[in-house]
């Protein structure tokens, strides 16, 4: 009999504690929507009692519709000196207006003595009272038992007592946390089994969850083991991001659960979108993709030369543990130009583009895509550019305008003033040459303004475009300031948002490419809506 499990994502909270992992408000909203599309059950958005950005995120999300996922606010038990109704942290959790609240409390007596500096009984009191106070304000209430495994090893009776008080306070799911990430699988099993026996003794109708960190490289293994023992909720992050060595990696846990262990979850029904979800998180965080990552890495199903290639061509199961398409990835035969066709066909269907599987143009698209990827292009966060690429190869993409020349000049007249930037541009629209110039806050902004100034007389709808994000990635540090860069631009109008990309050794040229694609995509979409 299959068993339902809950998938709880904490990329936006625990994941952002990773070194060099930073997300804007817009990035967090976009990731939330993507996680919802994937079918994640709970999305932990942050700790509203700890920083203003988390408060801003929860306010913004009140206007965002999530089809399946339940947004979750995270916080701690009340301070011992504060009554629950006067505790700022608990009030911030309620003010977030989320359907789910997760709070953590101390399970390890050393933390009670050295971190909280209170008595053991006082810690039990604040666990129960905090949860009891929150219970009427929320649909679902979870309790993270911080450092539970370490606490159990040191003082099992007290660790279990903290769970008991969480039950008394109204928690419906108790999450056992390996906060330091030091547990090994053989240690997890007897502790989980003892906790289950304790709940049976108490006749407690609560679920168990697992929250593992990866400091011993066992977070995924510990999580899967706990689930196999009957734990119902698993917490983790996309691509395993998190403090120190990271959290349990959901991109490894999800396919293992659904494709190998026979468990059911909503995300299992959409597991084919896992690859693009994992890549999107990396792209928005402006971090390189881990090509060797299981399931969703570029090398996860890559085969290079010799016996492996020969065997895989006859039967992929000889050297692949699952079919890559099941998680949205694709097989790569590194000495062949045939890889990637299924991915292109999948995207074509998504974009509403008709192309037959045996069309020679399909091979042309794949070859051009591979060549562009070799140059540094990446389309996970720039699907608009990829759609335009496909339509150009197929001959269905009109040229709305052509660049004749552009120039951007920076000048700094005095050291105590900001530099001035002027862009001049010459375009051809329908056989007519247009010349315009504009000032801007830097060369990219100046070119953007000059382009709009030249084109809006022909295409007034371009006034509707808003550039909402701009990212630059240095693709290789090998050549220092002479390295190639990738520019990712996020745009929106009243209908939708889209991403475009450009690559060059010149940051202005790369930005120009992304801007051209953004404007072209807008005009194409408007034609499709009105046509």
What is the gyration radius of the CA atoms in the chain, in angstroms? 26
Tokens of 312: 């895989």
Cα angle, residue 222 at apex, residues 217 and 225 outer, rounded to 5°: 145
CA-to-CA separations, 217 to 150, 151, 370, 490, in angstroms, rounded:
17, 20, 33, 35
Specify the pLDDT at position 344. Answer: 80
Name the more confident of 377 and 414. 377
Specify the pLDDT at position 482. Answer: 61
pLDDT tens for 51-90 read: 888 999 999 999 999 999 999 999 999 999 999 999 999 9
Q: What are the residue boundaries of the structural domains of the chain, listed by start?
A: 6-284, 301-339, 343-400+464-531, 404-458
Cα angle, residue 229 at apex, residues 227 and 230 outer, rounded to 5°: 70
pLDDT tens for 366-378 read: 888 888 888 888 8
CATH level 3 topology of 6-284: TIM Barrel (3.20.20)
pLDDT over 90 for what percent of the chain? 76
Is pLDDT of 316 > 80?
no
- 307 pLDDT band, cuts 50/70/90, is low
Instruction: Tell me how far apart the alpha carbons of residues 467 and 460 are, in angstroms, rounded to a whole number.
Output: 16
Specify the pLDDT at position 339. Answer: 45
Q: Which residues have CB under 8 Å from 262's CB, separation 6+?
A: 2
Specify the pLDDT at position 169. Answer: 98
Q: Please state whether 20 falls in left (phi above 0), alpha (psi between -120 and 50) or beta.
A: left
- 179 pLDDT band, cuts 50/70/90, is very high
Q: Mean pLDDT of all residues in the chain?
A: 92
- 454 pLDDT band, cuts 50/70/90, is very high
Cα dihedral sign, 112-116-119-122: negative
Q: Are 76 and 116 in contact (CB under 8 A)?
A: no
For residue 497, give the 3-state DSSP assignment: strand
C-alpha 47 chain-centroid distance: 18
130: nearest Cα among 143, 119, 140, 118: 143
pLDDT tens for 317-370 read: 777 899 999 999 988 765 433 446 766 887 788 889 999 888 999 889 888 888
- 271 pLDDT band, cuts 50/70/90, is very high
Out of 122-136, 312-326, 369-383, give the one with best mean pLDDT: 122-136
pLDDT tens for 497-514 read: 999 999 999 999 999 999
Where is 408: in which H helix or E strand? strand 402-411
The values of phi and psi at residue 104, to 5°, are -115, 155
Beta-carbon count within 10 A of 111 CB = 17
Instruction: Tell me how far apart the alpha carbons of residues 144 and 454 are, in angstroms, rounded to a whole number.
Output: 57
340: nearest Cα among 374, 366, 360: 366
The values of phi and psi at residue 354, to 5°, are -90, 120
Mean pLDDT over 441-453 rounds to 92
Q: Are 528 and 518 in contact (CB under 8 A)?
A: no
Instruction: Tell me how far apart the alpha carbons of residues 96 and 56 are, in angstroms, rounded to a whole number.
Output: 9
| Domain range 404-458, CATH architecture | 2-Layer Sandwich (3.30)
Specify the pLDDT at position 443. Answer: 87
Mean pLDDT over 222-228 rounds to 98
Instruction: Tell me how far apart the alpha carbons of residues 275 and 272 are, in angstroms, rounded to a whole number.
Output: 7
Q: What is the CATH number of domain 343-400+464-531?
A: 3.30.160.340
**Pairing of β 302-303 and β 332-333:** parallel
Among 4.10.430.20, 3.30.420.40, 2.60.120.280, 1.10.230.10, what is the CATH number of 301-339?
4.10.430.20
Cα dihedral sign, 299-300-306-309: negative
Specify the pLDDT at position 422. Answer: 93
Question: Burial, 469: exposed, middle or buried (Cβ in 10 Å; 0-12, 13-18, 19+)?
Answer: middle
Strand partners, 486: 473, 503
pLDDT tens for 385-406 read: 999 999 999 999 989 999 999 9
Question: Burial, 1: exposed, middle or buried (Cβ in 10 Å; 0-12, 13-18, 19+)?
Answer: exposed
Specify the pLDDT at position 20. Answer: 92
Is pLDDT of 458 > 80?
yes
Q: Are 458 and 429 in contact (CB under 8 A)?
A: yes
Specify the pLDDT at position 411. Answer: 87
Specify the pLDDT at position 412. Answer: 82
Tokens of 51: 């920083």
Instruction: Tell me how far apart the alpha carbons of residues 200 and 446 are, in angstroms, rounded to a whole number.
Output: 68
CA-to-CA separations, 228 to 4, 8, 124, 202, in angstroms, rounded:
12, 17, 30, 22
**DSSP secondary-structure letter at 139?**
S
Q: Among the listed ranges 243-247, 310-314, 333-337, 418-422, which one has the minimum average pLDDT value? A: 333-337
Q: Among the listed ranges 71-75, 226-230, 413-417, 430-434, which one has the minimum average pLDDT value? A: 413-417
Specify the pLDDT at position 338. Answer: 42
Q: Do domains 6-284 and 404-458 have the same CATH topology?
A: no
């Amino acid at each position: 009999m299959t068993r339902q499990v809950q998938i709880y994502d904490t990329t936006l909270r625990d994941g952002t504690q990773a070194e060099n992992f930073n997300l804007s408000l817009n990035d967090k909203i976009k990731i939330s929507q993507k996680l919802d599309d994937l079918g994640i059950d709970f999305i932990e958005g942050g700790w509203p009692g700890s920083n203003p950005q988390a408060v801003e995120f929860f306010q913004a999300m009140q206007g965002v519709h999530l089809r399946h996922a339940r947004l979750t606010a995270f916080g701690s038990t009340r301070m011992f000196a504060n009554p629950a109704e006067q505790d700022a942290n608990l009030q911030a959790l309620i003010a977030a207006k989320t359907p789910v609240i997760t709070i953590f409390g101390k399970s390890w007596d050393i933390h009670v003595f050295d971190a909280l500096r209170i008595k053991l009984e006082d810690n039990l009191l604040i666990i129960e009272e905090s949860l009891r106070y929150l219970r009427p304000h929320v649909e679902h209430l979870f309790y993270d038992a911080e450092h539970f495994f370490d606490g159990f090893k040191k003082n099992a009776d007290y660790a279990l007592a903290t769970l008991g008080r969480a039950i008394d306070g109204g928690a419906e799911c108790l999450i056992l946390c390996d906060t330091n990430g030091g547990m090994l699988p053989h240690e997890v099993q007897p502790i989980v089994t003892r906790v289950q026996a304790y709940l049976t003794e108490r006749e407690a109708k609560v679920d168990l969850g697992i929250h593992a960190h990866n400091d011993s490289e066992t977070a995924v293994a510990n999580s899967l083991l706990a689930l196999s023992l009957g734990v119902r909720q698993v917490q983790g992050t996309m691509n395993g991001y998190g403090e120190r060595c990271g959290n349990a990696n959901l991109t490894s846990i999800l396919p293992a659960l659904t494709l190998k262990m026979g468990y059911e979850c909503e995300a299992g029904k959409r597991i084919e979108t896992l690859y693009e979800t994992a890549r999107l998180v990396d792209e928005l965080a402006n971090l390189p993709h881990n090509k060797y990552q299981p399931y969703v890495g570029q090398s996860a199903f890559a085969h290079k030369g010799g016996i492996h290639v020969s065997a895989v061509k006859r039967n992929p199961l000889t050297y692949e543990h699952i079919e890559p398409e099941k998680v949205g990835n694709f097989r790569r035969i590194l000495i062949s130009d045939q890889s990637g066709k299924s991915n292109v066909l999948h995207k074509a269907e998504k974009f509403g583009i008709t192309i037959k599987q045996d069309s020679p143009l399909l091979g042309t698209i794949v070859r051009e895509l591979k060549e562009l990827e070799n140059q540094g292009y990446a389309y996970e966060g720039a699907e608009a550019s990829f759609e335009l690429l496909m339509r150009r190869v197929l001959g269905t993409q009109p040229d709305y305008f052509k660049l004749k020349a552009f120039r951007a000049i920076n000048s700094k007249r005095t050291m105590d003033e900001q530099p001035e930037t002027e862009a001049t541009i010459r375009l051809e629209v329908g056989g007519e040459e247009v010349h315009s110039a504009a000032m801007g806050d830097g060369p990219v902004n100046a070119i953007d303004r000059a382009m709009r100034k030249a084109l809006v007389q022909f295409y007034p709808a371009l006034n509707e475009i808003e550039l909402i994000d701009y990212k630059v990635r240095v693709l290789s540090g090998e050549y220092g300031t002479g390295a190639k860069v990738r520019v990712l631009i996020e745009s929106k109008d009243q209908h939708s948002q889209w991403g475009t990309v450009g690559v060059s050794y010149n940051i202005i040229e790369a930005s120009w490419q992304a801007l051209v694609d953004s404007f072209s995509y807008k005009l194409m979409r408007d034609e499709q809506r009105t046509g």
